[in-house]
Chains A and B, each alone.
Chain A
């Protein structure tokens, strides 16, 4: 039986789609049979980040409407045989998602995959509700800034109130991924520190991903950053993928730029 992870944030543009794509690839690299589903109906872009946009024939709404079955709509990655993708519709709006049909789809996916990632849209309605409804775990993506943290706090509260598992008295796993940590801004004290974020949100830290120009390049080239050996964000996603697969990987100090070395880290040593 597969495990469902909903990737959520409340606020838009914090890195949910980037995270969904990279963690799906990462866990597939670890040998898990993985599928990633784009629930951002009407605004799909996961296909582009994965470099699979020209392969999309059927999408999730075709499954909902019965125009295609699951095996027709699933896109298999050419580079990694463990990785599959189910696209969102670019044209139809999200009202096509019906709870029963979404449940049926997710049950089907759980039968056939080890790990299922659901890339949630921004906001707290429609597609978001569908992703948290049947999630076993949620990965909450935040940026180290006030409004992102507050929106994350809000969606965590909604998970507790609305998820199927939580209603049945079971606990939903809640994990925090802090994205776009910028060593330069940390140094200038313009970013909220990890400890403070954990204090406010009170959920388990899954990982920290630094700001990395390659993330943006990757979405243009369709080669996700986890496939770049030298990318710091890519390395972070690889560590997080391993953690998701049960490996005990220590947290790296992404708050400090690696190039600065130990001398640069000791504050006040050289003036």
Chain B
């Protein structure tokens, strides 16, 4: 078994509205203190002082290492599997491929993918994804492991997150966009 150790967990945040951002940090202070914040967008001196006062580590506007080179393409592995049935308690789905899960993943269910994972409905079960990329909406009950690291405590319930690998770091970022297929 090949277990990689990722020590630093990075939170990537786009600062587009300063008041909103400060409120977000205030609310998630405890959580954020355990991370390195990777700030993008407009980072004012006020924000910097604020974060320093809160003892939250951050870096800003690192040029996004030519994202084209990175393997974030969803169907990178040996194909895409679409799961259009809900996964019930006691059921386990394991795949080497990328997986698109359309329905609920219930408490007591397990999903394991070697490829990437997108889960569109509520996740209350256990997820183990060893791909490069994951998009899902955790809940209070879910257990989420990404490339061997338990990241269950790093996310809030009921919002979508993008989680991906960047060199040796796991980047967890709230997904604000609207998910649409058009």
Contact = CB atoms under 8 A, between A and B. Distances in A.
Same complex origin of A and B? yes
Interface of A: 146, 150-151, 153-154, 156-158, 199-200, 202
Contacts of B104: 199-200, 202
Q: For this complex, into which size category does the number of interface residues on chain B fall?
A: 10 to 19
Given A200-B104, A200-B106, A154 B90 contact: yes
Given A153-B89, A154-B88, A202-B104, 12 more contacts: A150-B89, A150-B107, A153-B88, A153-B107, A154-B89, A154-B90, A156-B88, A157-B91, A200-B104, A200-B106, A202-B86, A202-B103
Contacts of B103: 202
A197 to B, nearest CB: 12
A68 B115 CA distance: 59
Nearest to B90: A154
B6 to A, nearest CB: 31
B108 interface: yes
**In the A-B complex, the 3 residue pairs with the closest CB atoms:** A157-B88, A153-B89, A154-B89
A126 B63 CA distance: 62
A150 B87 CA distance: 12
A154 B106 CA distance: 10
Contact of A154 (B86, B108, B124): B108
Nearest to A146: B107
Contacts of A158: 90
A199 to B, nearest CB: 8
Contacts of A146: 107
Contacts of A157: 88-91
B86 A151 contact: no
B86 A150 contact: no
Contacts of A202: 86, 103-104
Contacts of B88: 153-154, 156-157
21 contacts: A146-B107, A150-B106, A150-B107, A150-B108, A153-B88, A153-B106, A153-B108, A154-B88, A154-B89, A154-B108, A157-B88, A157-B89, A157-B90, A157-B91, A158-B90, A199-B104, A200-B104, A200-B106, A200-B124, A202-B86, A202-B103
B93 to A, nearest CB: 12
Nearest to A149: B107
Contacts of A199: 104
Contact of A151 (B89, B91, B124): B89
Interface string B70-93: 000000000000000010111100
A202 B121 CA distance: 13
B107 to A, nearest CB: 5
Contacts of A200: 104, 106, 124
A154 B92 CA distance: 11
Contacts of B86: 202
A6 B91 CA distance: 21
Contacts of B89: 150-151, 153-154, 157
Interface in B102-146: 103-104, 106-108, 124
A45 B29 CA distance: 56
Contacts of B91: 157
Q: A146, A150, A151 — which one has the most chain B CB atoms within 10 A of its CB? A: A150
B126 to A, nearest CB: 13
A157 B103 CA distance: 14
A154 B104 CA distance: 14
Nearest to B121: A199
A150 B104 CA distance: 13
B131 to A, nearest CB: 25
